Structure 1
Amino acid sequence: MRLVDSHSHFDAPEFDADRAAAHARAVASGIRAQIVPAVEAASWPKLKTVCADFAGLHPAYGLHPMYLASHRPEHLRELREWIERERPVAVGECGLDYFVDGLDADAQQLYFDGQLRLAREFDLPVVVHARRAVDAVLASIRKVGGLRGVVHSFSGSAEQAAQLHRLGFLLGIGGPVTYERANRLRGIVATMPLEQLLLETDAPDQPDSGHRGERNEPAYLARVLEVVAELRGAPREEIAAATSRNAERLFSLPASA
C-alpha cells in the first residue's frame, strides 16, 4: 500500500535523536510521502533542511496560531518571500485556536487572513488549524475566497464538514479517530465523502489509542488507516489508495510519491 501522511511535524526536536530511524520505519510501514507544515518563522530553515535530507518529505511554510507570541507582522512579508523562492506544496500551518487561553483572537485573525491571501495569490492549498474555531475559519475562507486546502485534525460537526466540502476543503483525520469514545468524529468519518478524506498523524503529537502517552510518528499512520477502513466497512487498500490520490491531487504531488 502507498500512504501519504498529510500532516507530520517531522522537523520537530522530538525527532532529532532518531529522525533517520523514524523515517525508515515510516517507509517500511508504507508511507511514501509526508506533508511537513511549519509553525513559526524561526523553524523554516530547519524544516527546509529536513525535507531536503529525507525522501518523500514536502514542506509547507506558515505561522501557527499557537505560536502567536513568536510572530511579527514582518513575518508575513518574509513568508511571501519564502513561498516565492522555495515553492512549497502548501501554506501553513495556519488558522485559529479558540481553545488555548491567552491567544489574542484579533492577532490570530490578522496572521490567518494574511496567509489565506498568500495562498490565493500563489494558488497553493492551505493547511488549517481550527480548534474550537471552525465557524470562524469557515467565515475567513469565504471572505478571502478562491481557496482550497485541508482542515487538519478535524473536530467539528457533520454540518461544518459538509460546508468545508462545498468550499473545496478536505479533512485531515488522525489519532483521535482511534479512540472509541470519539463518537461524533467516528460518525463523520464513516459517512463523509471519500474524496474529502486525508489521513494524518500530526506527529509527534496526537498518538493513536495504542500509543497513548508516547511520541507519535508517521509509521503509526497504519493504525489510523485500519480504524478508518473499519468505520467505513471498506478494505484498507481502498482507503489507502483513495486518500493517497486525494493528497496527491491537493498538494500536487507526483502520483508515485
Structure 2
Amino acid sequence: MPLWFDSHCHFDFAEFDQNRQSEWQFARRVGVSGLLIPGVTHARNLQLEALCQQYSWSFALGLHPYFLAEHEQMHFEWLDVALESSLACAVGECGLDRVLAVDDAHWQQQLACFSTHIQLAKRHKLPLILHIRGCHDEAAAMLRRARFEYGGVVHAFSGSEQQGKAWLDLGFCLGIGGAMSHPGAQKLRRTIAALPKTAWLLETDAPDMKPAFWRGPANSPAAIPLLAAMLAQLQGAELNELSAQLERNRQSVLPASYLIREEPSIN
C-alpha cells in the first residue's frame, strides 16, 4: 500500500479532542503514515511539541495572520527561543492574507509579522509553512528581497501556473487538498495538471477545507488517499509512482519531518 503524508493538518484543534486517537488510527489504516501540524497562536504553540511527540507527528511553530490581534512581541521572542530548542521542522503557519486586511493598518501589521517570521526562519535555517491568499506576487517578492534560501510549503495553493512556477523557483512546494475536488475548481485543476509532480505535497487542512466527496462532520487526514487518487489522475501518474515522488518532495522541502515506518495497529 502506498504511504502518504498530510503536510498541513490542524489535528490539535478542539474539533478532534473527543476522537483524535480514533481518527488517527483510521488514517493510519488507509495509508497515512505522517502529518505536520502548523502552529497558529502562542497558546497552541505551547502545546504542540508534547502532543506531536505522543503520536510521532511533525510540527511547525508560528503565528497565523488570521489571529493577528492576539499576537504580541513576547510571542515572537518565545518563538525565537523555542525554534532553537524544540523539534520543530519548520516556521509557520505564517504569511499574508489580503482578504483579512480590513484596512491599511491591518495590512502593515501583517507585513511586519510575516517579515519577522522570515527572519526567524533564516536565523534557524528552517523552511516556512505559508498561508498566502490574494497576494502571491507580493509574498514571493518579500522572500526574494530577504534572500530566503530554505524553501518550504505554500499551503492551500490557489494561484496561477506562473505563480506556482515562481514558488518552485524559490524552493517551495505547493500544498494541495480538498479545493481541487469541488466542481468550480476547473482552473485549479488545469494548473495542477500543468505543473510537474515535483511541485506538490498533499494536505487536508483538517478540520477545515473538506473535499466535495467527504461526508464526515470535519475533514480528516484519512481523506489523503482519496485526494492522492485525484492528484494522480490530474498528473497522469500511477499511485505508487506519485507516492514515491511526494515522499521525495517532502524530504526536499521538509527534511526534518518524518514518516512512521511501522505497520499500523489493527486495534
TM-score bracket, normalised by the shorter chain, equals: over 0.9
Cα shift at 1:132: 1.0
Larger mean Cα displacement after TM superposition, 94-103 or 60-69: 94-103
* C-alpha distance 152-183 of structure 1, shift in aligned 2 (>3 A): same
CA–CA separation in structure 1 for the residues paired with 2:217 and 2:157: 21
Relative contact order: is structure 1 or structure 2 higher (C-alpha 8 Å, sep ≥ 6)?
2
Cα shift at 1:256: 6.1
Cα shift at 1:146: 2.6
CA–CA separation in structure 2 for the residues paired with 1:145 and 1:180: 38
Match of 1:218 in 2: 221
Match of 2:60 in 1: 60
Match of 1:117 in 2: 119
Contact residue 245 and residue 255 of structure 1 kept, 8 A: no
Match of 1:134 in 2: 136
CA–CA separation in structure 2 for the residues paired with 1:29 and 1:244: 17
- Segments ≥4 residues shifted beyond 3 Å: 253-257
Match of 1:202 in 2: 205
Aligned length: 256
Cα shift at 1:111: 1.0
Cα shift at 1:210: 0.7
**5 Å matches for 1:1-257?**
1-55=2-56, 57-100=57-100, 102=102, 104-147=106-149, 148-211=151-214, 214-252=217-255, 253-254=257-258
Cα shift at 1:92: 0.3
Letter in 2 for 1:232: Q
CA–CA separation in structure 2 for the residues paired with 1:206 and 1:76: 28
Contact residue 3 and residue 241 of structure 1 kept, 8 A: no
3-state SS in 1 of match to 2:126: coil
3-state SS in 2 of match to 1:171: strand
CA–CA separation in structure 2 for the residues paired with 1:64 and 1:255: 25
Cα shift at 1:177: 0.7
Contact residue 96 and residue 111 of structure 2 kept, 8 A: yes
Query: 5+ residue gaps in structure 1?
Result: none
* C-alpha distance 79-251 of structure 1, shift in aligned 2 (>3 A): same
CA–CA separation in structure 2 for the residues paired with 1:82 and 1:118: 11
CA–CA separation in structure 2 for the residues paired with 1:213 and 1:31: 17
Q: Deviations over 1:190-211 (max 9, x none)?
A: 1212112111001111011112
3-state SS in 1 of match to 2:213: helix
Contact residue 171 and residue 197 of structure 1 kept, 8 A: yes
Contact residue 153 and residue 174 of structure 2 kept, 8 A: yes
